[in-house]
Amino acid sequence: MKILPRLEQAGINVKIISAVSEELFDRQPQAYRDAVLPMEAMYDAMVISTGTRRVWPVRNLGPLTDAYSLTSDWDNQWLTGGLEAEVIAEAHLDSQAIFKGVERFAADHDKRISTQFTVLA
Give 3-12 pLDDT, tens digit per residue: 999 999 999 9
User: DSSP string spanning 26-69?
Assistant: HTS-HHHHHHHS-GGGGGS---EESS-TTS-SSSS--TTHHHH-
> Mean pLDDT across the stretch 51-57?
85
Tell me what the mean pLDDT of segment 57-76 comes to. 90
The predicted model scores a pTM of 0.86
Looking at 16-20, 44-48, 51-55, 58-62, which range is the least confident one? 51-55
Domain residue ranges of the chain, discontinuous segments joined by +: 4-116
Report pLDDT for 55: 84
Q: Check residue 98 and give its pLDDT.
A: 96
Confidence bin at 23 (pLDDT 50/70/90): very high
pLDDT of 93-114, one tens digit each? 999 999 999 999 999 999 998 9
